[in-house]
Amino acid sequence: MKGIITTKLSMSQAIDKDGRVQAITIVHAEPNVITQIKKTDKDGYFALQLGLPGKAKPKTKTPTWRVKREFRFPEGEYKIGDDIKVDIFKEGDMVDVMGITKGKGFAGTVKRHGFSRGPETHGHDHHRQPGSIGAMGMPRVHKGKRMAGRMGGTQVTIKNLKILAIDPKNNLLAIAGAIPGARQQAIIIKRHESDSQSEN
């Protein structure tokens, strides 16, 4: 599955041929550098490890990488140091997008899980409390119980999103819909599995 590491820029809108407005996400697909090559005869499979360049360290020539990820590519002639650019995709491709959702901090059950509020009149004092968290017959809290806690900041993959436009000159991609993450956050984009199989 071909893939690339990108950076989320912003959200916008596009108007399709039927005149309907569609939400799109713009990502910057800066050329990724091949940092390692996994070969079938040595590693049992073929893949490329790509690095998204980071800020250069002062007074040193050692390259720095903001993010590194491994992607399955079709076997071919690749060399360490080669660039993988946005032109590995084309308009209409279906992709899977992975990112880290925005962190919301510690949140209660109403915000985190959509619990209903309690009564707000006649002396009630449990407006946003979760209520009972366990039974008397089995006095413990079961695993997976929805409670207050840390919200957001988790890895999420959105599958089967469509690439609407590509700008190879400026290394930009326009993807239909919303993708997880804040602006300037690293986003992993891979060809959707069904698309990859049909291409092969």
pLDDT for 64 equals: 84
Q: pLDDT band at 196, cuts 50/70/90?
A: low
Note whether residue 140 is domain-resident. Answer: no
The yes-or-no verdict on residue 9 having pLDDT over 60 is yes
How deeply is 162 buried, as exposed, middle or buried, from its count of CB atoms within 10 A (0-12, 13-18, 19+)? middle
Helices (H), 87-187: 109-113
Distance between terminal CA atoms of the chain? 10
DSSP state of 59: T
Condensed to tens digits (0 to 9), the pLDDT of residues 143-168 reads 999 999 999 999 999 999 999 999 99
- Cβ atoms of 8 and 161 closer than 8 Å: no
CATH number for the domain harbouring residue 106: 2.40.30.10
Domain that holds residue 163: 3-39+46-55+64-120+145-199
Note whether residue 15 is domain-resident. Answer: yes
Note whether residue 130 is domain-resident. Answer: no
Three-state secondary structure call for residue 193: helix
- Cβ atoms of 117 and 65 closer than 8 Å: no
The yes-or-no verdict on residue 200 having pLDDT over 60 is no
The alpha-carbon radius of gyration of the chain (Å, integer) is 23
The yes-or-no verdict on residue 195 having pLDDT over 70 is no
Note whether residue 189 is domain-resident. Answer: yes
Furthest-apart CA atoms within the chain: distance in Å: 75
Condensed to tens digits (0 to 9), the pLDDT of residues 46-69 reads 999 999 988 776 766 677 888 999
The overall average pLDDT reported for the chain is 90
Indicate the pTM of the whole model: 0.81
Condensed to tens digits (0 to 9), the pLDDT of residues 165-188 reads 999 999 999 999 999 999 999 999
Number of domains in the chain: 1
Note whether residue 136 is domain-resident. Answer: no
Note whether residue 101 is domain-resident. Answer: yes
Query: What average pLDDT does range 119-126 have in this prediction?
Result: 87
